[in-house]
Amino acid sequence: MIILPFSRIVESESETEEIAAGFSEMISEGDLVLLNGDLGSGKTFFVKCLCSNYGIQNVTSPSFAIVNEYSGLKKIFHFDFYRIKKLNELYDIGIEDYLKDDKAIALIEWAELWNEIIPNKHYEVRIEMFNEQKRKISITKQ
């Protein structure tokens, strides 16, 4: 069970999977989850673990596509803002419509790069990398 605010040091993928499983039970349709952390910290891995709890196995990084849509027990919009150069790129893909969809969960990697479009109500998963295996996963709700 996860109680917010949450923070834990993990040293294995299975520990990350356990946290993602607990978090997947907390969130529901209409929720927005921001994932922030350095390159290679495990944001996409966390999304894969989270989505697997909804029966979704085909999770890939949306780095070049900007957004991937998945369907399983829940509908998921998975964004990656890393390669976005201008805010208009997000408006061009209809970001406002995605974020207003109350029948889906929106997951945004690198959300901190475009804070100005993020609604006030959201969860944040922050992953700090200490070394190849050791990370600190923090989850808060705004």
pLDDT digits (tens, 9 = 90+) for 50-96: 999 999 999 999 888 899 999 999 999 999 999 999 999 999 999 99
The secondary structure of residue 65, as a DSSP letter, is T
Give pTM, 2 decimals: 0.96
List, in sequence order, every residue forming a beta bridge with 126; answer none if it has no partner: 36, 138
pLDDT for position 64: 84
pLDDT in tens, 98-133: 999 999 999 999 999 999 999 999 999 999 999 989
pLDDT in tens, 3-29: 999 999 999 999 999 999 999 999 999
Split at pLDDT 50, 70, 90, the class of 1 is confident
> Tokens at residue 26, please?
């907390």
User: 140, exposed or middle or buried, with CB in 10 Å at 0-12, 13-18, 19+?
Assistant: middle
Q: Where are the alpha helices (DSSP H) in the chain?
A: 13-26, 43-52, 87-92, 95-100
pLDDT for position 39: 93
Domains of the chain and any CATH numbers = 6-141 (3.40.50.300)
Q: Which residue has the tokens 């969860």?
A: 123
For residues 71 and 56, is the Cβ–Cβ distance under 8 A?
yes
Q: Which residue has the tokens 């927005």?
A: 32
